[in-house]
């Protein structure tokens, strides 16, 4: 009996020891379930499964703005009346701060002079510069510039009064942008918001608008061959965007040699309003938003110029844009006004891979 009792106690003790070893195993992973197995290393042991490689990010489109101070924060320089003798030299300045203005006001061919203004007022909210026929107004809060030219005060019925027609425009020369040849860009996008708020024919213009000397609202970029190794080095093209020509419902494409002032000059290629504004007749008072890639049109302009004996031996890879102007040219007795804003010329540079192809 004692032996049977001793055997029973030994059996119970062995069973308790087995249960205690089972309870000391590794705990399950937190959150339940099982961990994924590792990958067996040929040399023994395990390693984590390989991670999928992420593709290299695409290079960002690098864009370069050509137009400095496109919100008109620094003021304006005012040029003279004669483009031949005064050139682009500034006679007086209207500065809003310490920096010299990059913008210049052109008034070639005018009878009156903004350098001798009847009104010259600058506040934190606005600028007004005016003579008898021209008014330049800047809303400094909205960054909107208004160019108004009453050419009914510029001309009389004599031919002598129209030897040179009146201009009112803004212009600037580009600095850093000239380091880029046009072939380095994928696109070259010009933008402009504007509204022509007045275009009224004066009483001395008795004919129909189509038969009358016009008022034109235009923008020009200066395309220059800067490749000293090119036979066409230094040749120059006026590349234009036409918005309004009062002789037409929609200003047409035009190209010809410049003959301003009776002198033979460089070639002009000016896109029509169907390309710049879209189809349909121009509407005074309508707000237009222009956005156009001018690069393919410049290529067409160079080809057309070469076919007519200009810009010979010149490709996009030879050319840079050195500046621009925007505003009114008014050979006829028209009273006109336009307000502009959101002015830009932005080039998208090709990436290195494209250039190497």
Please, what are the domains in the chain? Answer: 68-356 (2.60.120)
Q: How confident is the model at residue 353 (pLDDT cuts 50, 70, 90)?
A: low
What percent of the chain shows pLDDT beyond 90? 73
- Mean pLDDT for the stretch of residues 147-174: 92
Instruction: Return d(Cα 121, Cα 127) in angstroms, integer.
Output: 6
Token pair in block for residue 95: 């500065």
3-state SS class at 50: coil
Q: How confident is the model at residue 159 (pLDDT cuts 50, 70, 90)?
A: confident
- Of residues 322 and 161, more confidence is placed in 322
Task: Indicate if the pLDDT at residue 136 is higher than 80.
Answer: yes
Q: Is it the case that residue 40 has pLDDT exceeding 50?
A: no
Residue 19: pLDDT band by 50, 70, 90 thresholds?
very low
Q: Which residue has the tokens 């593709």?
A: 55
* Dihedral, 89, 163, 328, 216 alpha carbons, nearest 10: -150
* 124: number of Cβ within 10 Å: 7
What integer is the mean pLDDT of 338-354? Answer: 89
More confident residue, 354 or 232: 232
Are 28 and 35 in contact, with CB atoms under 8 Å apart?
no
Helix (H, G, I), strand (E, B) or coil at 262: helix
CB within 8 Å of 271: residues ≥ 6 apart: 240, 241, 242, 253, 297
CB 272 within 8 A of CB 242: yes
CA dist 185 → 32, 64, 189 (Å): 58, 10, 10
At 175, is the pLDDT very low, low, confident or very high (cuts 50, 70, 90)?
very high
Among 153, 173, 194, which Cα is nearest to 276's? 194
pLDDT computed for residue 284 by the predictor: 98
Check pLDDT > 70 for residue 14.
Answer: no
- What is the pLDDT at residue 119? 96
Task: Please report the pLDDT score of residue 54 as a whole number.
Answer: 59
Q: Can you tell me the distance from the alpha carbon of 169 to that of 146, in angstroms, rounded to the nearest whole number? A: 10
What's the pTM value of the predicted model, to 2 decimals? 0.81
* pLDDT for res 157: 84
User: What pLDDT digit, counting tens, does each position of 224-234 carry?
Assistant: 999 999 999 99
Which residue would you say has higher pLDDT here, 57 or 272?
272
Give the per-residue pLDDT at 206. Answer: 87
| 50-78 residue pLDDT tens | 555 555 554 556 999 999 999 999 999 99
**Confidence label for 13 from pLDDT (cuts 50, 70 and 90):** very low
Residue 103 binned pLDDT confidence (cut-offs 50, 70, 90):
very high
pLDDT at 7 over 80: no
Instruction: Look at 261 and 275; give whichever has higher pLDDT.
Output: 275
């Amino acid at each position: 009996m004692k032996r049977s009792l001793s055997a029973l106690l030994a059996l119970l003790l062995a069973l308790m020891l087995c249960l205690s070893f089972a309870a000391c195993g590794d705990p399950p992973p937190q959150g339940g379930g099982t961990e994924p197995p590792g990958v067996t290393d040929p040399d023994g042991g395990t390693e984590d499964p390989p991670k999928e490689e992420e593709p290299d990010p695409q290079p960002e489109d690098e864009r370069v703005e050509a137009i400095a101070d496109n919100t008109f924060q620094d003021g304006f320089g005012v040029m003279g009346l004669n483009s031949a003798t005064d050139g682009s030299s500034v006679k007086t300045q209207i500065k809003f701060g310490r920096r010299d203005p990059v913008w210049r006001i052109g008034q070639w061919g005018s009878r009156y002079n903004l350098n001798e203004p009847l009104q010259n007022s600058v506040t934190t909210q606005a600028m007004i510069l005016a003579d008898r026929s021209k008014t330049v107004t800047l809303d400094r809060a909205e960054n909107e510039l208004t160019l108004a030219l009453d050419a009914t005060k510029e001309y009389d019925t004599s031919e002598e009064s129209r030897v040179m027609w009146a201009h009112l425009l803004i212009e600037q020369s580009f600095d850093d942008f000239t380091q880029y040849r046009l072939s380095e860009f994928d696109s070259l996008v010009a933008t402009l918001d504007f509204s022509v708020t007045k275009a009224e024919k004066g009483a001395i213009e008795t004919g129909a608008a189509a038969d009358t000397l016009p008022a034109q609202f235009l923008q020009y970029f200066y395309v220059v061959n800067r490749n000293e190794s090119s036979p066409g080095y230094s040749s120059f093209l006026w590349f234009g965007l036409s918005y309004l020509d009062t002789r037409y419902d929609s200003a047409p494409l035009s190209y010809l040699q410049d003959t301003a002032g009776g002198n033979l000059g460089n070639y002009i290629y000016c896109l029509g309003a169907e390309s710049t504004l879209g189809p349909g007749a121009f509407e005074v008072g309508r707000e237009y938003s222009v956005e156009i890639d001018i690069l393919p049109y410049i290529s067409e302009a160079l080809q057309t110029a070469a076919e007519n004996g200009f810009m010979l031996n010149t490709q996009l890879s030879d050319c840079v844009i050195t500046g621009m102007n925007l505003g009114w040219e008014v050979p006829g007795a028209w009273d006109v006004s336009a307000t502009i804003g959101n002015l830009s010329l932005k080039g998208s540079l090709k990436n290195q891979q494209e250039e190497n192809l």
